Amino acid sequence: MGAREQSAAEFLRDLPAVHELAASLDAPHPLAVAAARRAIDEHRALLLEGRLAEVGDITSRARELLVELERPSLRRVINATGVIVHTNLGRAPLSEAARDAVRGAAEGYANLELDLESGQRGSRHAHVEGLLQELTGAEAAIVVNNGAGAVLLATAALAGPGRAAVVSRGQLVEIGGGFRIPEVVAQSGARLIEVGTTNRTRRLDYERALDAAGPQTAVILRVHPSNFRSLGFVEEVAIEALCELGVPVIDDVGSGVLGDGAALTALGDEPSIRRSVAAGAALTCCSGDKLLGGPQAGLIVGTSRAVAAARQHPLARALRIDKLSLAALEATLLLYRNPERARREIPVLAMLDAGEDELERRARRLRDAIGTEGARLGRAVAKVGGGALPLIELEGPVIELLSERSPVEIAGRLRAFSPPVIGRIHDGRVLLDPRTLCEGELESAAAAARAAV
Residuewise pLDDT in 10s, the chain (453 residues): 444 445 667 778 888 999 999 999 999 999 999 999 999 998 888 888 888 777 788 999 999 999 989 888 999 999 999 999 999 999 999 999 999 999 999 999 999 999 999 999 999 999 999 999 999 999 999 999 999 899 999 999 999 787 889 999 988 887 766 678 888 888 888 889 999 998 899 999 999 999 888 777 789 999 987 766 777 788 899 999 999 999 999 999 988 888 654 455 667 678 889 999 999 999 999 999 999 999 999 999 999 999 999 999 999 999 999 999 999 999 999 999 999 999 999 999 999 999 999 999 999 999 999 999 999 999 999 988 876 777 688 999 999 999 999 999 999 999 999 999 999 999 999 999 999 998 889 999 999 999 999
Residues 225, 332 share a domain? yes
Question: Which pLDDT belongs to residue 1?
Answer: 41
Residues 50, 136 share a domain? no
Residues 25, 113 share a domain? no
Residues 118, 53 share a domain? no
Residues 61, 47 share a domain? yes
Residues 187, 259 share a domain? yes
> In sequence order, what are the beta bridge partners of 217?
164
- Which of 345, 365, 384 marks a domain boundary? 345
Question: Which pLDDT belongs to residue 261?
Answer: 46
Distance in angstroms (rounded) separating the CA atoms of residues 89 and 429: 21
Question: Which pLDDT belongs to residue 260?
Answer: 59
> Has residue 3 been placed in a domain?
no
Which structural domain range is residue 230 located in? 96-345
Decide if 90 contacts 79 (C-beta within 8 A): no
- Which of 345, 362, 388 marks a domain boundary? 345
The bridge status of strand 140-144 relative to strand 298-302 is: antiparallel
For the chain, percent helix, then strand, then coil, each to nearest 5? 45, 20, 35
Distance in angstroms (rounded) separating the CA atoms of residues 401 and 367: 9
Decide if 375 contacts 408 (C-beta within 8 A): no
Question: Which pLDDT belongs to residue 59?
Answer: 92
Which secondary-structure segment (H or E) carries 397? Answer: strand 394-401
Beta strands in 318-374 (DSSP E): none
**Domain count across the chain:** 3
**Which candidate, 396, 185, 148, places its Cα nearest to that of 290?**
148
Report the interhelical angle of 407-416 vs 442-452 (nearest 10°).
130
Plot region of 177 (φ>0 → left; ψ -120 to 50 → alpha; else → beta): left
Alpha-carbon distances of 355 from 264, 336, 346, 347, 441, rounded to whole Å: 12, 21, 16, 14, 18
